[in-house]
């Protein structure tokens, strides 16, 4: 899948160095919640193997620039096929690409996959209330705030709120037409 700034592709074993580099960066990882396992090469290799399985319940893609530089990952997980919804996740691991539209382009591609190919009804997510850059990105793509989970997560010595957001298929389609995505 290719957008205006990025393309999404499956993980490959050769992505280990990129994954190790950004998953060791505290500034990047602060938005992903508590780290539950050590960031070892063996752990990350197993993560890639799990993501490469065709039957994996979580569909994760590498985000690449159009010049084929890996800059992050995004995907869909927690599918509910009866209610036709899933949870979106995204991380721009290369900080040089923060705030430049690469994440927004990747989210548009994921929403296209979710609504036009997988026929989902809604896509949801949660993000730290302090992650203003991400919230702006999601709102540009049509997500609306559904609620606030007060002091839900512990980050850097204190509790912070988490924002719950979602976008319905019809809302995505209206937004896509409005912005020409």
What's the CATH code of the domain at 175?
A: 3.40.630.30
Locate tokens 């929403």: which residue?
111
The answer as to whether 41 is a domain residue is yes
Q: Which two tokens stand for residue 123?
A: 């896509």
Per-residue pLDDT for 36 more than 70? no
Chain center to CA of 161: 19
Look at the chain and report how many structural domains it folds into.
1
Question: Which of 11-20, 92-101, 114-123 is predicted least confidently?
Answer: 11-20
pTM assigned to the model: 0.89
Judged against a pLDDT cut of 60, whether residue 140 lies above it is answered with yes
Confidence class for position 50, pLDDT limits 50, 70, 90: confident
Say yes or no to pLDDT of 39 above 80. no
Give residue 42's pLDDT.
82
Lowest mean pLDDT among 28-32, 84-88, 89-93, 140-144: 28-32
pLDDT band at 45 (very low <50, low <70, confident <90, very high): confident
Domain assignment of residue 17, yes or no: yes
In a domain, 175, yes or no: yes
- pLDDT reported for residue 34: 53
Does any domain span residue 1? no
- Would you say residue 39 lies in a domain? yes
122, part of any domain: yes
Domain that holds residue 30: 6-179
Q: What tokens appear for 116 in the block?
A: 């036009």
Contact 88, 108 (CB under 8 A): no
DSSP state of 115: I
The residue behind tokens 């989210």 is 107
Give a yes or no: residue 43 inside a domain: yes
Instruction: Find the length of the chain.
Output: 181
CA angle 110, 148, 24 (to 5 degrees): 55
- Work out the average pLDDT over 3-16: 92
115 lies in some domain: yes
52 or 95, which is more confident? 95
User: Which pLDDT belongs to residue 37?
Assistant: 54
How far apart are the C-alpha atoms of 78 and 99, rounded to whole Å?
27
Span 55-78, average pLDDT: 92
In this predicted structure, what is the pLDDT of residue 69? 95
Chain mean pLDDT for the chain: 90
């Amino acid at each position: 899948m290719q957008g205006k700034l990025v393309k999404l592709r499956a993980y490959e074993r050769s992505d280990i160095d990129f994954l190790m580099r950004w998953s060791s960066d505290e500034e990047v990882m602060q938005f992903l919640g508590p780290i539950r396992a050590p960031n070892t090469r063996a752990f990350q290799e197993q993560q890639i193997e799990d993501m490469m399985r065709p039957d994996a319940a979580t569909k994760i893609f590498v985000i690449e620039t159009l010049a084929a530089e890996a800059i992050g990952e995004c995907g869909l997980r927690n599918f509910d096929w009866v209610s036709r919804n899933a949870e979106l996740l995204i991380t721009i691991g290369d900080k040089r690409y923060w705030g430049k539209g690469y994440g927004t382009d990747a989210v548009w591609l994921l929403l296209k996959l979710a609504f036009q190919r997988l026929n989902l009804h809604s896509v949801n997510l949660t993000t730290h209330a302090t992650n203003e850059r991400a919230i702006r990105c999601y709102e540009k793509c049509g997500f609306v705030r559904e609620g606030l989970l007060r002091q839900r997560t512990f980050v850097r010595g204190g509790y912070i709120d988490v924002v719950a957001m979602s976008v319905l298929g019809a809302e995505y389609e209206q937004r896509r037409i409005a912005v020409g995505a």
